Amino acid sequence: MDEPRQYAEDVQELVQLLHENKTLDDFRDAFSVQLHLQEFAGRATFQVHEQGTQIFRRGQTGKTFCLVMEGQLRAVDLSGKEPRLLGYLPVGSFVGEGAMLGKQMRSATVEVVIRAKLAWFTEADWDWLISKNSRLRVYFENLATRRNAQASIDFPGRQWDEVVVASTKRNIVAYLATLFLPIVLLILPVLLWLVAFIFDPDFLSNISAGLLVLITVPFLFVAMVLAVFNYFDWKNDDFIVTTKRVVHIERFLFFGEQREDAPLTRIQDVTLLSDLFDYIFDSDTLKITTAGVGVIVFDHVRQAEHIQRTIFQERKRAMARVTAADTAVLRQKLANQIEVVDQVEQNVMAVAESEATLTKQPTTRHYAPIIDYFIPRIKEVNNTKDGTVITWRKHYYVLLVDIALPILALLISLYLFLASLVLWLPPFGPAVAWSVHLLLGIAIGASYFWYLVRYDDWSKDVYMLTDSRIIDIEAAAFRIRRSRREGTFDNIQSVYSEISNLFYKLINLGDVIIETAGSEETFTFEKVFDPASVREEVFNRWAIYQQKQKEAMRDATNQQVMDAVTEYHNLTHQPSP
């Protein structure tokens, strides 16, 4: 195809993008005459940039800007010791406008993540564009402000390779639903006085005003406290969508928080649900179905449709980056094979974000075996040359319930034994038969043995996690009976956690359910402490295992390609007979 014809097609493609891309709605509105869009497109030059190309570098003078027509770019801050993601720039994004506004130096490095086609404009094109309408400068100023603000949004647990693209809170309808009990408490004293008045019309005249106030005020006080508590509990939860995942942070006032998150690449469906109150108060519930994390619910949130669109949009972009990452590996291998590695530009960050990251945990300190046995640990970490093994036991509350009666029996029998030796302590008199001492001594031994049975039964029930397996060991005391069930990460289908009631929420006790394929469908880590963190640990190891499996398959496919390239090279370079 000749260059003039190609250029005309590129211009037409850019015009279509300017007219149809929703990202550019505000840009189109800022033009006073739509014909200027055609003229603007005609001033562009077009280039295709390969993955890894740095189109802008931090510290350069800003003399050009561009518009993304295909592919995906990424802005990175390299001013610190480690690179920091500032944001992704998809199709329809202007790039470099910040430096053009004040004729400043570039504040970030912009690199190509997915092979990109860009429409380039010069400083003269910028001056022409801004002269057409003063609203265009305002548009670009607002664009730069929004991007800077977005890059600086933070939340607890934010990772360095993600940027918040959308966040919301619960609608007021969710708070109103919590006011049922406070309203009942306000109405209750009125109903009581009304019933009393019906049965005795002189009741109110016979009761003193002070007593009336004394009885009514506690109801009012409790209702007010509940209403205020529910308000802050309603307001402090977050629903967040980043370039990497969706996050639900549920904070319990005075009692900590729970977190649910899922990588965008694992989201399967997002369903919009609403009821009558949602319709009245303009809110909806988002049900996010995922592979591996179960279902995450954004209940009664504002701007639910916008959040839904954002999730689908960011998932599509994240999956494109995963595909581009595989291409980058193959490209690197080919460059090595044909010895042109120096000519291939490298991204300053990984092309695609990792689904999971593991934090190195210190090995649990151990003592002598007998001392270790009587230290009730609910979590143990052992780092070996073959990997990390984490062992969980049931919550301390479960242990306390199991040993409460044996401890009580031991304390009572011990007290009675001492009381029988010291005659002035009740319930014993001045003389105690030796048989009583013997029976009480036996009671002490039996109580202690009862305690050991309960403690050993709690200690022997463990849940273990390695780099490739999950293990559920259920044993009776002193290993009278023992079952060991193991499953590999290949069979896991989903991982989620549950807390069944308010008391368990207060003490952070719950179950972690690991659904697997096969005849026995689930592993359940029952009544563990902080089930959210246990779920996250299981999910992270499962995700990393799957990623390694995927990379192994990719490398095998790439090797086949490399072998074909090698054979082609050998055949084409053989000397002629």
Q: Is residue 343 part of a domain?
A: no
According to DSSP, residue 365 is labeled P
Q: Rounded to an integer, what distance in angstroms lies between the CA atom of residue 315 and that of residue 436?
A: 75
Q: Residue 176: which residues within 8 A CB-CB, separation 6 or more?
A: 277, 281
3-state class percentages of the chain: helix first, strand second, coil last, to nearest 5: 50, 25, 25
Q: Residue 314: which residues within 8 A CB-CB, separation 6 or more?
A: 165, 241, 242, 243, 264
Same domain, 93 and 114: yes
Q: Give me the average pLDDT of each 10-residue run along the chain (577 residues).
A: 80 92 86 74 93 91 92 92 91 92 87 95 92 87 92 86 92 85 86 76 68 79 89 88 91 71 90 82 87 82 91 94 87 77 79 78 84 89 85 94 94 87 67 78 93 92 90 86 86 81 83 77 88 86 86 82 76 66
Predicted local confidence at residue 56, as pLDDT: 94
Q: Minimal CA–CA distance to 29: which of 127, 142, 145?
A: 142
Same domain, 280 and 222: no
Predicted local confidence at residue 38, as pLDDT: 86
Q: By residue range, what is the domain housing residue 324?
A: 165-170+237-330
Same domain, 146 and 243: no
Predicted local confidence at residue 562, as pLDDT: 77
Same domain, 440 and 409: yes
Same domain, 147 and 209: no
CB atoms within 10 A of CB 496: 21
Q: Is residue 361 part of a domain?
A: no
Same domain, 103 and 226: no
- For the chain, the domain total comes to 4
Q: Minimal CA–CA distance to 66: which of 83, 103, 91?
A: 91
Q: Is residue 481 part of a domain?
A: no
Q: Is residue 317 part of a domain?
A: yes
Predicted local confidence at residue 163, as pLDDT: 94
Q: Is residue 261 part of a domain?
A: yes
Q: Rounded to an integer, what distance in angstroms lies between the CA atom of residue 459 and that of residue 410?
A: 20
Distances (CA, A) of 440 to 403, 407, 446, 453: 20, 15, 10, 20
Phi, psi of 151 (to 5 degrees): -65, -25
| Domain endpoint, select from 152, 184, 210 | 152
pTM score: 0.75
- CB-count exposure of residue 389 (10 Å: 0-12, 13-18, 19+): middle
Same domain, 256 and 227: no
Same domain, 307 and 414: no
Do 380 and 391 touch, CB atoms closer than 8 A?
Answer: yes
Predicted local confidence at residue 201, as pLDDT: 73
Same domain, 225 and 260: no
Q: Is residue 54 part of a domain?
A: yes
| Domain endpoint, select from 459, 479, 499 | 459
Same domain, 143 and 11: yes
Q: Rounded to an integer, what distance in angstroms lies between the CA atom of residue 251 and that of residue 68?
A: 40
174 bridge partner residues: none
Same domain, 136 and 12: yes
Predicted local confidence at residue 310, as pLDDT: 95
| Domain endpoint, select from 459, 480, 513 | 459
Q: Minimal CA–CA distance to 352: which of 139, 72, 564?
A: 72
Q: Minimal CA–CA distance to 533: which of 279, 345, 361?
A: 361
Tell me, letter by letter, the H, E, C secondary structure of 417-473: HHHHHCCCCCCCCCCCCHHHHHHHHHHHHHHHHHHHHHHHHHHHCEEEECCCEEEEE
Per-position b or e across 160-173, b if 16+ CB within 10 A of its CB: ebbbbbbbbbbbeb
Same domain, 69 and 182: no
What CATH code is carried by the domain that includes residue 142? 2.60.120.10
Q: Is residue 427 part of a domain?
A: yes
Helix (H, G, I), strand (E, B) or coil at 311: helix
Q: Is residue 197 part of a domain?
A: yes
What CATH code is carried by the domain that includes residue 247? 2.30.29
Predicted local confidence at residue 155, as pLDDT: 87
**Pairing, β 509-516 against β 522-529:** antiparallel
Whose tokens are 């990719």? That residue is 554
Taking every pair of C-alpha atoms in the chain, what is the biggest distance, in angstroms? 125
